[in-house]
């Protein structure tokens, strides 16, 4: 059972898309799945439209902090038996082990945002019993993060 997910959102230049996708699916993801604790990988291209963006804008608040990358077009997810497999070694340590060519390919990603999700509880849908263990999440998923801007004060 997967209890940790590494998620990366990013963009690609159109001129580099096919080269990157061929490498990602042909070399990188198979290599990652050979790592201890890694169970599955998924890679999706987010589709958007003016209508979808309008709906999202009504429901979501996005940061205006320029230090937060804005990558969105692609989502790469790696599922692991536990979150420790995703951070020990860290993604940066794994990248340092890669060939120059592989690091060049990772460098094609633009505005990369990265998050490690730790599962605390799970709600399965009615089709859960028909899914094999150790496979990617269902056909629709939603990730979210939040940060409180409220400050806490303690009595002295």
Query: Which pLDDT value is given to residue 154?
Result: 44
Using DSSP, state whether 5 is helix, strand or coil: strand
Mean pLDDT of 9-16: 96
Domain 4-52+61-121 carries which CATH code?
A: 3.30.70.100
Q: How confident is the model at residue 141 (pLDDT cuts 50, 70, 90)?
A: low
Please calculate the CA angle 71-45-70 and round it to the nearest 5 degrees.
10
What pLDDT score does 3 carry?
82
Three-state DSSP string of 38-107: EEEEEEEECCCCHHHHHHHHHHCCCCCCCCCCCCCCEEEEEEECCCHHHHCCCHHHHHHHCCHHHHHHHC
Please indicate, yes or no, whether the overall pTM of this predicted structure exceeds 0.95.
Answer: no
Average the pLDDT over 112-139 and give the result. 73
């Amino acid at each position: 059972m997967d209890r940790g997910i590494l998620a990366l959102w990013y963009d690609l230049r159109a001129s580099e898309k096919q080269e990157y996708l061929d490498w990602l699916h042909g070399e990188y993801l198979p290599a990652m799945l050979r790592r201890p604790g890694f169970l599955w990988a998924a890679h999706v291209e987010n589709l958007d439209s003016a209508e979808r963006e309008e709906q999202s804008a009504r429901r979501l608040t996005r940061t205006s902090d320029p230090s937060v990358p804005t990558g969105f077009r692609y989502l790469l997810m790696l599922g692991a038996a536990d979150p420790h497999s995703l951070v020990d070694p860290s993604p940066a340590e794994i990248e340092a082990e890669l060939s120059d060519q592989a690091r060049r390919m990772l460098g094609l990603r633009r505005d990369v945002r990265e998050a490690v999700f730790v599962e605390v509880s799970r709600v399965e849908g009615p089709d859960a019993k028909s899914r094999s263990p150790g496979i990617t999440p269902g056909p629709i998923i939603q990730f979210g993060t939040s940060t409180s801007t409220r400050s806490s004060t303690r009595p002295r």
